[in-house]
Amino acid sequence: MSNPNKDVIDVLNDLIEYSKDGQKGFEKSAEDVKSPQLKSFLVERGVGCAKAASDLQAEVRHLGGDPETSTSFTGDLHRGWIDLKSKFTSHDDEAVLNETERGQDYALKAYKEAREKLVKLNVPAAANALTLVDTQLQGVQRNHDKVKALRDAARANHH
């Protein structure tokens, strides 16, 4: 029997992957930065991403689906890139923040696309999911802006 909510579930599962990517990205960045203030912000954001993922997983289960539990291929690729880059940059806070911001750009784009897909689907199951996605999208936007501000500050301290 096919699940009538399959399309909504697919959209949410994509976001779970992105949230997991974000979680790993923030955790990785937190290991790489020197500033204790920055470290605690990044750790906190990692926890936020983990919570976002578990909220999305709960919604997928509620819709009768199988929630995604892994990170995405692009996320693994992105983290690999961070690993590689940090070997050359000696864990420079600004460089780490540049990467983190790039990750946030991806997440923002993913959430906006997911939002559009849910609106287009226009099925009852999408309504609840949309509320959740909207709330998380605002969080991603806040993360993005905060990371950008921190990066600009790190850049200013550098010069």
Specify whether the CB–CB gap between 147 and 100 falls below 8 A: yes
- Measured distance CA(123)–CA(120) in Å, rounded: 9
Question: What pLDDT is attached to residue 159?
Answer: 66
How many domains is the chain built from? 1
Is 126 inside any structural domain? yes
Q: What are the CA-CA distances from residue 76 to residues 37, 55, 59, 137 (Å)?
A: 26, 22, 24, 22
Q: What is the pTM of this model?
A: 0.86
Q: Among residues of the chain, what percentage have pLDDT more than 70?
A: 86
Return the CATH number at 141.
1.20.1260.10
The string of pLDDT tens digits covering residues 82-136 is 665 655 556 688 888 888 888 888 889 999 999 999 999 989 889 999 999 999 9
The string of pLDDT tens digits covering residues 49-71 is 999 999 999 999 999 999 988 77
- Measured distance CA(115)–CA(111) in Å, rounded: 6
Is 101 inside any structural domain? yes
